[in-house]
């Protein structure tokens, strides 16, 4: 006959084994979560903090860039993004300058840049909506990505919508700044000396160059935040990117 003590002993052993399995599972699950965070930074970061930090970085970058470029001479006096005559029109430019019509070309170039500056103030909501939609997977992908991962994310998410929204704005801006008039003046004068007329989509060209300038500056802002602690103007930026820097330094060692 089996004793009551033996039966109780077996039951207790089963409970211990079951409890140990539960504890082991929980610990393993916790370790897995920690490993995920550790792979991209400090394990003290939560998912929400990573997402919030990356959203904040993009917001700071887009706000700064759009403000800078929407100012008078934001494009025109920035050699890195200044909009020049399209490649297919550069022969036109040279010919006009050679025959004394350089001022017409200068006015055309100035007007294209003024149009870009005017249009840059209208992109904030499109950027903001894309930032709000960032998922946890997006955020961790950006944190693990290269130096321009956040800018590339924004470019991928917003370019089609920006082109659609920008085209009428640029077209109106070109008209408001007399760019369209000067453009017609340029080619009207040029066509007096050439048997081959030049027909360029001015709106499409300026739209693309405006977007190129915006993303160029957003990329510069991202670099500042990633590399320069002084550029991390909020607590969440300091926490997330300080963690990323610590992880990168540990990898170097």
* Confidence band, pLDDT 50/70/90 cuts, at residue 16: very low
d(CA 51, CA 2): 60
The model's pLDDT over 20-64, given as tens digits with 9 standing for 90+, comes to: 333 322 333 334 333 433 444 444 778 888 888 889 889 989 999
CA angle 180–72–165, rounded 5-degree value: 55
d(CA 138, CA 51): 8
Residue 15 has pLDDT above 70, yes or no: no
The model's pLDDT over 183-241, given as tens digits with 9 standing for 90+, comes to: 777 777 777 777 676 666 788 889 999 999 999 999 999 998 888 888 887 888 888 88
Give the list of residues 6+ apart from residue 189 with CB closer than 8 angstroms, or none: 96, 101, 104
pLDDT at 250: 47
d(CA 159, CA 165): 10
The model's pLDDT over 78-90, given as tens digits with 9 standing for 90+, comes to: 999 999 987 767 7
Range 135-139 average pLDDT:
90
Comparing CA positions, the residue from 125, 132, 152 lying closest to residue 218 is 152
Give the list of residues 6+ apart from residue 148 with CB closer than 8 angstroms, or none: 219, 222, 223
CA angle 240–231–135, rounded 5-degree value: 40
DSSP structural state of residue 147:
T
């Amino acid at each position: 006959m089996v004793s009551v003590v033996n039966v109780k002993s077996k039951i207790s052993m089963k409970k211990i084994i079951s409890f140990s399995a539960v504890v082991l599972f929980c610990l393993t699950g916790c370790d897995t979560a920690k490993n995920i965070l550790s792979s991209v930074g400090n394990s003290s970061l939560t998912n929400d903090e990573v997402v919030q930090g990356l959203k904040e970085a993009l917001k700071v970058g887009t706000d700064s860039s759009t403000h800078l470029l929407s100012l008078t001479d934001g494009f025109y006096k920035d050699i890195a993004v200044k909009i020049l005559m399209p490649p297919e029109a550069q022969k036109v430019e040279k010919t006009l300058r050679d025959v004394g019509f350089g001022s017409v070309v200068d006015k055309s170039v100035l007007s294209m840049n003024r149009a870009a500056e005017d249009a840059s103030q209208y992109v904030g909501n499109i950027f903001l909506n894309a930032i709000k939609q960032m998922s946890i997977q997006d955020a961790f992908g950006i944190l693990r990505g290269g130096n321009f991962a956040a800018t590339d994310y924004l470019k991928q998410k917003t370019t089609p919508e920006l082109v659609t929204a920008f085209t009428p704005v640029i077209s109106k801006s070109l008209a408001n700044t007399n760019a369209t008039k000067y453009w017609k003046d340029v080619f009207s004068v040029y066509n007096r000396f050439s048997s081959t007329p030049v027909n360029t989509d001015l709106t499409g060209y300026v739209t693309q160059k405006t977007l190129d300038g915006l993303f160029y500056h957003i990329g510069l802002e991202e670099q500042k935040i990633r590399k320069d602690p002084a550029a991390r103007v909020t607590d969440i930026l300091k926490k997330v990117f300080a963690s990323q820097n610590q992880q990168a330094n540990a990898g170097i060692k």
